[in-house]
Chain A
Amino acid sequence: MVRSLPGRLALYTAAIVIAVYSAFPIYWMVLSSLRSPEVLLTSTSLIPGPFTTEYYWNLLELTDYPTQFVNSIIVAAVTVVVTMVFSVMIAYAVTRHRVPGKKLIIGAMLYAYMFPPLLIAIPMFSIFAKLGLGDTLTSVIVSHLTLTLPLGVWFLWGFFKSMPFELEEAAMVDGCTRLGAFLRVVLPLSLPGLITVAIFSFLLSWTDYTYALIMIGSDANKTVPVGLASMIGSFDLRWGEIMAGSTLIALPLFAAFAMLSQYFIQGLGAGAVKG
């Protein structure tokens, strides 16, 4: 389409405004994490420098950040794996068989991932305290599953529904069992759906603050979002370290997005969403 010059200018301006609005805080976060202490609190120059990596070293050497980073990785990894296994089972079963109450199951899943967080956190905290599992990574993982499992079922249900039955029927005619057909035909073909569920489960678990705040009390068991937030309560605010820590939490997400953006956007479009 041919546009007039003023039309083009307006469009470019709008695009630049959107880009700056969305990216500037992120740019400022990264830049602040690298700007040396003498100028960090005074300079508002858009160009970094003089550079330093000392905040990153302080964070890694003097704080619980590395332990908390590992905690976050464990929590997110286990959450993703468990979510995948059970959401695939439920979603596959309800799309491939006349299950009584199918609508109820799927509807309940959509409903469940909109629950108020405290409705889950209060009883969970109480249950884990009584089981002697308070302040453990297990309690965080279990609370994250209450978000990711419904999300996984909801998304995979839509995905399996659009996948033709003939595929596994053909495999079963050729002598595969249902389980064999599922493992050899359905799962490999569902890879895009599985990746999408994995991304969103990871995103929910990795970014969660609420459940981890409630479940965890000791510094050594905190996940990074909670650990980082507790730095702001201390008396001397170390903005350099806080921005370095923020950058390090964001990095895995940006890397995942850069590699898998097509699945991410597909997932958003299909309604698999992190609220």
Chain B
Amino acid sequence: MSSKATIYSFLILGLSVTMLLIVAPVVYAISLSFYQMDSFVGTPQWAGLDNYARVLSQWEFWRALINGFVYSLGTIVFQVVLGIGFALVLNQVFPGRNLVRGLSILPYLLPTVVVVLTFKWMVDGSIGVLTSVLAALGLPPVYWFESPGAAMASVILVSVWMWTPFVTTTFLAALQTVPTSLYEAAKVDGTTAIQRFFHITLPMLKPILTVIVLLRAVWMFNKFDVIWLLTQGGPVGSTEHLAILSYRTAFSLFDIGGGAAIATISFAILSVAVFIYFRLFPLDTE
């Protein structure tokens, strides 16, 4: 087989599998959003834009959209601030540094279900360890899943714990690329550590920071499992975002066209973010 034939057979084989696996379902999902279908094995009926009109006229949709923004914004701010703080500490030289670096990654390895179950156990009513810690500190118990504010705080808290390591590790890797001579020169000039962070580290790492924020924003906006496992979108819809609304619409209400329409709308919102991403970081393929 000639060299060219090998390359092309690789490409054709690989891409046809990818098309079949990814492109076909997405096209099917978008087309489903224009049909009315109330069973997964039923025959779809053409509905035009009815699904979109229905979905967009429900106030649940707008609540879910706002919840999604609150959740992504809240998780991103804390992940990024904590992640950068951790990276700055772990970048220093101290005994046991590698151990602490290793420990700091562990939350990221855990399955969401493990994190959520452990959190639920830790805050459980009268017996959870966090409940006892709060009591020992003289603080009132927090009923995490009963009030809307506390429920949103709990999904944000758990998500931040899980995904901060991503920011820490990426930022830590990026810190290695800042030339130490810059810091030495600045030190000679009598700057403080805080000045050096804001005038050298942050500007040097602005591109990687933008990547982190964009990637995390997209992922947090789509995240389904944390919220579903912790609150199922409750209480009274206060943590329900588009992914959960779409799941409920398609798999509990069997309004498959409506669920597909919500998924398609989130896809459109996400595409804007990805478009910005590619504008800021054009692919350099050569």
Contact = CB atoms under 8 A, between A and B. Distances in A.
B178 interface: no
Interface stretch (A47-55, A56-64, A97-105, A189-197): A97-105
Given A15-B89, A214-B251, A249-B114, A93 B215 contact: no
A135 to B, nearest CB: 12
A263 interface: no
B165 A22 contact: yes
Contacts of B119: 25
Nearest to A228: B113
A229 interface: yes
Contacts of A107: 278, 283
Interface stretch (B48-56, B120-128, B138-146, B148-156): B120-128
Given A114-B270, A117-B222, A172-B3, A102 B13 contact: no
Interface in B14-53: 14-15, 17-18, 21-22, 24-26, 28-29, 32, 40-41
B219 to A, nearest CB: 3
B90 interface: yes
A249 B111 CA distance: 8
A119 B266 contact: yes
A23 interface: yes
B195 interface: no
Given A261-B102, A269-B169, A118 B246 contact: yes
A225 B112 contact: yes
A239 B119 CA distance: 12
Given A119-B264, A257-B109, A146 B104 contact: no
Contact of B13 (A12, A89, A265): A89
Interface residues of B, number: 96
A216 interface: no
- Chain B interface secondary structure, helix, strand, loop or mixed? helix
Given A15-B94, A250-B110, A123 B102 contact: no
A243 to B, nearest CB: 6
Interface stretch (B4-12, B58-66, B197-205): B4-12
A172 to B, nearest CB: 7
A92 B90 contact: no
A228 B262 CA distance: 29
- Interface size class, chain A: 35 or more
Interface in A191-229: 203, 206-210, 213-214, 225-226, 228-229
Contacts of A269: 169-170, 173
A22 B106 CA distance: 7
B22 A112 contact: yes
Contact of A18 (B10, B40, B86, B256): B86
A17 to B, nearest CB: 9
Interface of chain A, main secondary structure: helix
B104 A22 contact: yes
Contact of A116 (B10, B113, B211, B243): B243
B235 interface: no
B2 interface: yes
B218 to A, nearest CB: 5
Nearest to B121: A239
B10 to A, nearest CB: 4
A94 B169 CA distance: 29
A140 interface: no
A74 interface: no
B106 A26 contact: yes
Nearest to B193: A7
A42 interface: yes
A177 B3 contact: yes
A245 to B, nearest CB: 8
B103 interface: yes
Nearest to A265: B169
Nearest to A44: B132
B11 A89 contact: yes
Contacts of A268: 166, 169-170, 173
A120 to B, nearest CB: 5
Given A118-B266, A207-B111, 4 more contacts: A28-B121, A44-B132, A122-B263, A275-B216
Q: What are the 3 tightest A-B residue pairs by CB atom distance, in nearest-first order?
A: A275-B219, A90-B14, A207-B111
Interface of A: 1, 8, 11-12, 14-15, 18-19, 21-23, 25-26, 28-29, 32, 41-42, 44, 86-87, 89-90, 92-94, 96-97, 99, 102-103, 105-107, 110-112, 114-120, 122-127, 129-130, 134, 142, 145-146, 149-150, 153, 172, 177-179, 182, 203, 206-210, 213-214, 225-226, 228-229, 232, 239, 242-243, 246, 249-250, 253-254, 257, 261, 264-265, 268-269, 271, 273-275
21 contacts: A8-B94, A19-B104, A22-B104, A22-B105, A22-B165, A23-B103, A25-B119, A28-B129, A86-B13, A119-B264, A119-B267, A122-B250, A123-B26, A182-B6, A207-B110, A210-B228, A228-B114, A229-B229, A249-B111, A271-B211, A273-B215
